[in-house]
Amino acid sequence: MKRIVLFGAPGAGKGSVADLLSVRLSFPTISTGDLVRAEIRGQTEIGRKVQEITARGELVPDPVIIGMLDRRVKQADVKSGYILDGFPRTPAQAQALAALPADEERAVFLDVGEDVVVERLLGRLTCQKCGAIYNRKGKMPAQAGVCNRCGGTVAARSDDNEDSIRQRLQVYLRETQPVIDYYKQKGLLRTIDGVGTVEEVFARLLEALA
C-alpha cells in the first residue's frame, strides 16, 4: 500500500491536483474533513461525539481522527494506496499516521506565495453541505449556487475576506512548519511550485513522485 501526503496552504490547489492524481493512480483521495462530515451525517456513535465537540468550538482529538482514518484505509478501494489531502497537520498526527500500514510513503508540499493564495481564496466558493470547493475564476458549479456533487448550496465563506485569509495563512504556516520539518528529516518530502495551471502543477507533482 502506498501513501501520498499532499501539503499546502488553503488555496494552494491541493484538491485539484489530488483529483487528477487519484484518477491517474486509481487511488482514493482521503480528506479527514470528509470523514468527519460523513460520521456526523450518518449519526454514528463517533459522529455524535464529534458533533458535540465541534459544537463547543473545540478541535476533534487526534486519536478520534486517526481512528476514523484507520477504519477508512482498511476498506477495499484503498488496497493499492491512497492520497491524503491536508493531513497530518501536527507532528503528533504525523507520528500517529506513521503507525498505520503503508509499504511506501511520500509527501509533497505545494509552495504558493501568500498574495497568490489570497487572490484565489477571495474567489473561492464552498458547498455548505459536503465541503466541495469551486472558484469564480475557474471551476464553477454547472448550476449557479448548486453543488455538482451533492446538490447543496454553494456560496462564499463568511471568513473569506483578505484580513481573515492572511491571518489564517500565518496560523497555517506556523502550525504546519514542524510537520514539513518532520517529513524533511525522514527524507520523504518533495517541494514543488504550486503556481500555474492545474495541468502544469500536476506535471510537477508527477515528476516529484517519479
- Other Cβ atoms within 10 Å of 200 Cβ, number: 12
Sequential DSSP letters for 65-105: HHHHHHHHTTSGGGSSEEEEES---SHHHHHHHHTS--SEE
Helices (H) and strands (E) in the chain, counts: 8, 8
> Strand order in 124-127's β-sheet?
133-135, 124-127, 154-155
Assess whether 204 carries a catalytic annotation. no
Backbone torsions φ then ψ of 105, nearest 5 degrees: -135, 135
8 Å CB contact between 68 and 97? no
**Pick the catalytic residue: 3, 72, 89, 106?**
89
Q: Is 190 a catalytic residue?
A: no
* Rounded Cα distance, 38 and 50, in Å: 11
The catalytic residue among 24, 71, 137, 157 is 157
Q: Of the listed 14, 72, 106, 204, which one is catalytic?
A: 14
Q: Is 124 a catalytic residue?
A: yes
| Catalytic entry in 3, 72, 120, 124 | 124
Q: Which uninterrupted H or E stretch holds 51?
A: helix 45-55
- Among candidate residues 37, 129, 168, 190, the one labeled active-site is 168
Indicate the SS3 state at residue 167: helix
Question: What are the residue numbers of the active site?
Answer: 14, 89, 124, 157, 168
